[in-house]
């Protein structure tokens, strides 16, 4: 098997690896190719792409995403090979914490490679999004509060991930109380990131999010958000393991009201 970078010319072939039930993977692949802090790789066998994956590098941590094996080549150790190859990249770049979100199929593979489960993410779904929510007077456009948004995100995630967030700051929403950002919402980033250090701020931003969204993924520890989802008619669908290898991040799961995506938490 040969390892090389994914390039734009690969996009059409990558459609053969699209997992059933997943969102279209091609926008993510294009994002990886175009982003200086991402490294997407492909595994070739007889010039055919049989596996892919990507490493996403923040300032003090890394994530692995879209580790996918072609359905015709599963159970041959390719997923483990992709993961090991990405871990070698993060080790070479001296990243001491690497995280991922595992599917049920992938979790045993990652455990064998040394990953440990740190949290569970719960997936909720409703037949249609809620409507009619009028945003709180505390919610404002957030671009002028960019520094506070990035600081709050660092507090919640335990990661410095400004390169990922900065392109979405112009469209951000913030919950302001006494002149300070108590929570923020980035509607265009993945599933729609919501972070808040106060429950009321998080719930108001979550309500805004649910005006247009019929799904939500968040840590099981955020009891207040989960209670709101259930009261609004959302039903539990499944869970996914958040796993890490290396140093423990100072992640604050109760501050996360809506995750970004499976490739960055």
- What single-letter DSSP state applies at residue 7? -
Nearest alpha carbon to residue 229 among 144, 101, 123: 123
170 φ, ψ (degrees, to nearest 5):
-60, -25
Tell me yes or no: is domain 2-95 CATH 3.40.630.30. Answer: yes
- What single-letter DSSP state applies at residue 71? G
- Tell me: the pLDDT tens digits for 67-86? 999 999 998 999 999 999 99
Determine the Cα–Cα distance for residues 205 and 215; give it in Å rounded to an integer: 15
Rounded to two decimals, the pTM is 0.95
Q: Indicate the domain borders of the chain.
A: 2-95, 125-258
125-258 has the same fold as 2-95:
yes
Residue 83, pLDDT score: 96
Domain 125-258: CATH class, spelled out? alpha beta
Determine the Cα–Cα distance for residues 228 and 219; give it in Å rounded to an integer: 14
Query: Which residue intervals of the chain are DSSP H helices?
Result: 11-14, 26-34, 78-92, 107-112, 146-157, 162-165, 199-210, 223-231
Q: Average pLDDT by consecutive 10-residue portion of the chain (265 residues)? A: 94 94 94 97 95 96 96 92 96 94 91 96 90 88 96 97 96 96 97 97 96 95 97 94 96 98 94
- Tell me: the pLDDT tens digits for 143-156? 999 999 999 999 99
């Amino acid at each position: 098997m040969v390892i090389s970078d994914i390039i734009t010319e690969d996009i059409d072939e990558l459609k053969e690896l699209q997992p059933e039930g997943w969102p279209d993977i091609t926008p993510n692949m294009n994002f990886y190719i175009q982003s200086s802090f991402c490294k997407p790789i492909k595994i070739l066998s007889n010039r055919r792409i049989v596996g892919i994956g990507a490493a996403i590098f923040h300032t003090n941590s890394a994530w692995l995403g879209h580790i996918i094996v072609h359905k015709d080549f599963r159970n041959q150790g390719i997923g483990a090979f992709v993961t090991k190859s990405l871990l070698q990249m993060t080790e070479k770049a001296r990243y001491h914490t690497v995280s991922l979100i595992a599917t049920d199929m992938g979790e045993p593979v990652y455990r064998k490679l040394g990953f440990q489960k740190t949290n569970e993410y719960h997936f909720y779904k409703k037949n249609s999004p809620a409507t009619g929510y009028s945003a709180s007077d505390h919610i404002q456009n957030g671009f002028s509060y960019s520094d506070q948004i990035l600081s709050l995100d660092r507090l919640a995630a335990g990661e410095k991930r400004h390169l990922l967030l900065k392109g979405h700051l112009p469209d951000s929403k913030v919950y302001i109380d006494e002149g300070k950002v108590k929570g923020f919402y980035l509607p265009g980033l993945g599933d729609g990131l919501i972070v808040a250090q106060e429950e009321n701020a998080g719930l108001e931003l979550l309500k805004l999010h649910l005006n247009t969204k019929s799904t939500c993924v968040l840590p099981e520890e955020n009891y207040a958000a989960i209670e709101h989802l259930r009261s609004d008619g959302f039903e539990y669908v499944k869970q996914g393991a958040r796993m890490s290898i290396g140093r423990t991040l100072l992640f604050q799961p109760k501050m996360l009201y809506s995750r970004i995506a499976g490739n960055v938490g």
